A and B are shown apart, each in its own frame.
Chain A
Amino acid sequence: MSLVAEAFVSQIAAAEPWPENATLYQQLKGEQILLSDNAASLAVQAFLQMCNLPIKVVCRANAEYMSPSGKVPFIHVGNQVVSELGPIVQFVKAKGHSLSDGLDEVQKAEMKAYMELVNNMLLTAELYLQWCDEATVGEITHARYGSPYPWPLNHILAYQKQWEVRRKMKAIGWGKKTLDQVLEDVDQCCQALSQRLGTQPYFFNKQPTELDALVFGHLYTILTTQLTSDELSEKVKNYSNLLAFCRRIEQHYFEDRGKGCLPQHGLPRGAMSAPRI
């Protein structure tokens, strides 16, 4: 949005404290939500938990269409609706909560660079796997994406989304990549994250930041989602410090607080509700 609109929104955001009834909207957890959306949603949930801000997760089939930017998740706070991790971080900062205030300029630059790396490689790889890999598309994605809708809407929406994603992949040069090349890229990305994390508990030593939330969201989802093959999660499992990192955040921010909103055994694939005729 324009600079003026942004300043205006920040002003309004700063005026009120965080309410108790803030809600986060995402697609239906059991049957509809896909890998990339689940990762994004989990990243936002982790971030809000790290900031100690209460949030209620609500699942709606049309969450994607309710969102102001067309992407999930989005949060409904007071009378404002903000979607995607970047704007949510700004919004929360305007309310006076921030995880990255203690970083100096060089560290902030590094944090932003690593967040772009995750978006550029991990998120794009997830999208590729979901929408451009024929096996996954046929077995999982089409069925899940269109599950809340009656025939023929479920097929039409799924094909439309697939066409959109493939166009985007072609524009950024991923159209010609094979699955093996994509998995190579995921491996490279995980290696970079693992090397950056090293033996520290979080990426910027003692305190978690939005980068930790984003990385956790993506890696946890990759590890716990069952796809047609295990190649993607195997790439992540090669790096033990990343596994320990996910476990640490899960224990500290989700289990200890009794939230239990993480999928325990991964998203079940296949068995979905019978299409309504």
Chain B
Amino acid sequence: MAAPLELSCWGGGWGLPSVHSESLVVMAYAKFSGAPLKVNVIDNTWRGSRGDVPILTTEDNIVSQPAKILNFLRKQKYNADYELSARQGADTLAYIALLEEKLLPAVLHTFWVENDNYFTVTKPWFASRIPFPLSLILPGRMSKGALNRILLTRGEPPLYHLQEVEAQIYRDAKECLNLLSHRLGTSQFFFGDMPSTLDAYVFGFLAPLYKVRFPKVQLQEHLKQLSNLCRFCDDILNSYFRHSLGGKLAPLQLSFICVEYLHILLGLYKQNSLLIEEVCALSLNAGL
């Protein structure tokens, strides 16, 4: 517990601490269980590895894959499932399996296979965080890996064409979202008032789908209709990830205030009263 825990993961955007589902699952779990994680965001220097992200590094161990990292954190006494009953623990396992079988193929498809999304959003984003010349190779490889996984697990006969597989996986994903929505109901988290492993997994899978701006958005539109799931994601973002985001906005806020003072000094106060109102509104929002 005294040893520092470092997590290497993909960075954030669109209001999220990370756009990569698995990294987000680990970050959310760490927040829920109070584990002190030092997050190292992968950038386009050659520092750190990019395979098998997220990776947790301690003094003597290197752990990859979310399930193993969560197990490791639990063994270090950072346990978010402490208050769950045995049956709720069993339910957690079952719902995680449901997410991986029904929702994950469609999420992978939306991010990595759908051409419009991949070429306009995903590939540029990941390529900007990978050093040249790896940035030419790695996104393509990740995309092929995603397609492979979808076809091998779902693309069996009689679904010979990718279009038919697509229809099937989106249908399954929408059904899965509906099931999650029914299960969540009106409560704040899946098991009462405290967040647990299942909340981390659902948040990790849903939040990127909810927040990232894609050209082709059929699954996102379906998710937005399920207001309790959207409220669930927003609640977690506001309660647990606000400070890391506030840190990013502070310099922006500061620069706006400097501009405002400059305008006052130059005597442009009256003409720019509208600008000042906007700046105040921005500052208030950023400060909340």
Contact = CB atoms under 8 A, between A and B. Distances in A.
A189 interface: yes
Interface in B76-116: 86-87, 89-91, 93-95, 97-98, 100-102
Number of contact residues on B: which range applies? 20 to 34
Given A71-B156, A195-B89, A116 B97 contact: yes
B94 A113 contact: yes
Contact of A1 (B101, B158, B183): B158
Nearest to B87: A195
A216 B157 CA distance: 27
What does DSSP make chain A's interface, helix, strand, loop or mixed?
helix
A131 interface: no
Contacts, number: 82
A119 B93 CA distance: 12
A1 to B, nearest CB: 7
Contacts of A110: 91, 94, 183
A49 to B, nearest CB: 25
Interface in A122-150: none
B90 A191 contact: yes
Nearest to A118: B97
Interface stretch (A55-63, A164-172, A254-262, A268-276): A164-172
Interface string A72-89: 000000000000000000
Interface string A1-27: 111000000000000000000000000
A54 interface: no
A117 B93 contact: yes
A252 interface: no
A210 to B, nearest CB: 15
B87 A116 contact: no
B97 A120 contact: yes
Contact of B91 (A69, A70, A196): A196
Contact of A114 (B94, B148, B164, B167): B94
Interface in A172-223: 172-173, 188-189, 191-193, 195-196, 198
Interface of B: 65, 86-87, 89-91, 93-95, 97-98, 100-102, 145, 148-149, 152-153, 156-159, 164, 167, 171, 179-180, 182-183, 185
Contacts of A106: 182-183, 185
B89 A109 contact: no
A161 interface: no
A69 B97 contact: no
**A-B pairs, 6 with minimum CB distance:** A192-B90, A113-B94, A109-B179, A117-B97, A120-B97, A113-B98
B156 A171 contact: no
Nearest to A164: B152
23 contacts: A3-B171, A68-B158, A69-B157, A106-B183, A108-B179, A109-B182, A112-B179, A113-B91, A113-B95, A113-B98, A113-B179, A116-B97, A116-B98, A116-B101, A119-B101, A171-B148, A172-B152, A188-B93, A192-B94, A193-B90, A195-B89, A195-B90, A196-B91
A112 B98 contact: yes
A105 B100 CA distance: 21
A172 B89 contact: no
B87 to A, nearest CB: 5
A94 interface: no
A51 interface: no
Interface of A: 1-3, 68-71, 105-106, 108-110, 112-114, 116-117, 119-121, 167-168, 171-173, 188-189, 191-193, 195-196, 198
A198 B85 CA distance: 12
Given A113-B179, A120-B100, A68 B157 contact: yes
Given A116-B98, A120-B97, A189-B93, A172 B183 contact: no
A6 to B, nearest CB: 10
Contact of B164 (A1, A108, A167, A168): A1
A109 B95 CA distance: 9
B101 A2 contact: no
A151 to B, nearest CB: 28
A171 B153 contact: yes
Contacts of A121: 97
A255 to B, nearest CB: 29
Given A69-B156, A195-B87, A109 B183 contact: yes
Given A106-B183, A112-B98, A119-B101, A192 B153 contact: no
Given A172-B152, A192-B94, 6 more contacts: A109-B179, A109-B180, A116-B97, A117-B98, A189-B93, A195-B90
Contacts of B149: 171-172
Nearest to A211: B94
A1 B156 CA distance: 11
A113 B97 contact: yes
A7 to B, nearest CB: 13
Contacts of A198: 87
B85 to A, nearest CB: 9
B179 A2 contact: no
